[in-house]
Chain A
Amino acid sequence: MKILIRLIPLVLFLLLGVLLYRGLFLNPQAMPSALVGKTFPEFSLTRLTEPQQTLSKADFKPGIKLVNVWATWCPSCKVEHPFLVKLSKDERFSLYGINYKDERVEAKKWLKYYQDPYQFSIFDDIGRLGLNLGVFGAPETFVVDHKDVIRKRFAGVLEPRVWQREFLPLINTIETEMAEGK
């Protein structure tokens, strides 16, 4: 009995050690989004390429949507852009852009120069829609399902490895849900 009591500090120390050791490998930047499971917020903003045209949620095509937050001031957006162009050829979902706190002229130039992978880009110059989406920088990518519910939010550069590991399984899940008529 006495030996057991004497061992308590050692056991506590080991438990604490395990806890702290695990903490070393956690990514503090990986934040769960408060919006996963909620419907995509309403918006009424202009189209990047046509200032006269107002866009809203009704302009999204039915089915799975990929919404990418980008800006010309964001260097990582340039990195992920070629991959987005590749993704835009995938028929299973439609890709939309939110041009976040940017200049219209510069953004239009960017799309002309690097190709435009988006169905359309929403021009969010003061970051109103971004705020409602809980965006805190660019690039960020959201997966929105057929019922307009946000299923995933990813902050950072979208690259093939992340796509394979995190996005593809989710898109498959949503597709089965759609097939089952959920």
Chain B
Amino acid sequence: MSKLISFISTMTISCLLAFSVLAGPIDTYTFPDEVTKKRFAELTYELRCPKCQNQNLADSNSPISQDLRKEVYDMLMDGRSDGEIMTFMVERYGEFVLYRPRVSSLTYALWFGPIVFVLIGGFVVFMFVRRKDDKPEHLSEEQKQQLKSILKD
């Protein structure tokens, strides 16, 4: 019985995996080594399709994405660095094509804003906590005695 279950689960998982591979666009690029292959995957993951705005190059089947994937491939085969490829794309399609914007005076708020907010939040929490500690005792001795007797019951 357990063998059957394990067989079924293996089949299900392998089917799921097979479909997830088929979901992306299919290119027939061959790479000389694993490193280049990985770089291609990373670059097309980080670059955004200019036409279909919420997809990256790796994800999109639009003609422009196919062209740009080929361009990335050609440039990789040409021995260009990742930085050069990114710059090539930015020169033509603008900062827009980068899913991870570069750190510049325009994007400081984007990069460092969250840290600033965490600091502000931390400061506010700190102030509240400290204020609570400062609070004087409201109960007089008499009231404390009363409270004790009530709690005894």
Answer yes or no: are A and B bound together in one complex: yes
Q: List chain A residues, Cβ under 8 A from B64.
A: 136-137
* Other-chain residue from A35, A131, A133, A137 in contact with B51 (beta carbon distance below 8 A): A137
Q: How far is the CB of B104 from chain A (nearest CB, A)?
A: 14
- Is A75 an interface residue when CB atoms closer than 8 A count as contact? no
Q: In the bound complex, how far is the Cα of B93 from the Cα of A133, in angstroms?
A: 8
A interface, size bucket: 10 to 19
Chain B residues near A (Cβ < 8 Å): 50-51, 53, 63-64, 67-68, 71, 90-96
The reply to whether A134 and B63 contact each other, CB–CB distance below 8 Å, is no
The reply to whether B53 and A101 contact each other, CB–CB distance below 8 Å, is no
- Is A88 an interface residue when CB atoms closer than 8 A count as contact? no
Chain A interface, >50% SS class: loop
Q: How far is the CB of A17 from chain B (nearest CB, A)?
A: 18
The reply to whether A136 and B51 contact each other, CB–CB distance below 8 Å, is yes
Query: 8 closest A-B pairs (Cβ-Cβ)?
Result: A34-B94, A134-B92, A136-B50, A136-B64, A136-B51, A134-B93, A137-B51, A31-B96
Q: In the bound complex, how far is the Cα of B90 from the Cα of A127, in angstroms?
A: 18
The reply to whether B93 and A136 contact each other, CB–CB distance below 8 Å, is yes
- Is A51 an interface residue when CB atoms closer than 8 A count as contact? no
Q: List chain A residues, Cβ under 8 A from B93.
A: 34, 134, 136
Q: List chain A residues, Cβ under 8 A from B91.
A: 34
The reply to whether B96 and A131 contact each other, CB–CB distance below 8 Å, is no
Q: In the bound complex, how far is the Cα of B67 from the Cα of A129, in angstroms?
A: 12
* Other-chain residue from B51, B53, B63, B90 in contact with A34 (beta carbon distance below 8 A): B90
Q: Given A127-B67, A137-B64, do A31 and B51 touch, yes or no (CB 8 Å)?
A: no
Q: In the bound complex, how far is the Cα of B93 from the Cα of A101, in angstroms?
A: 18
Q: List chain A residues, Cβ under 8 A from B95.
A: 34
Q: Given A28-B53, A31-B50, do A132 and B63 touch, yes or no (CB 8 Å)?
A: no
Q: List chain A residues, Cβ under 8 A from B63.
A: 101
The reply to whether B67 and A34 contact each other, CB–CB distance below 8 Å, is no
Q: List chain B residues, Cβ under 8 A from A133.
A: 92
* CB-defined A-B contacts under 8 Å, sample of 29: A29-B53, A31-B50, A31-B94, A31-B96, A32-B94, A32-B96, A33-B94, A34-B90, A34-B91, A34-B92, A34-B93, A34-B94, A34-B95, A35-B92, A101-B63, A127-B67, A131-B67, A131-B71, A131-B92, A132-B92, A133-B92, A134-B92, A134-B93, A134-B94, A136-B50, A136-B51, A136-B64, A136-B93, A137-B51
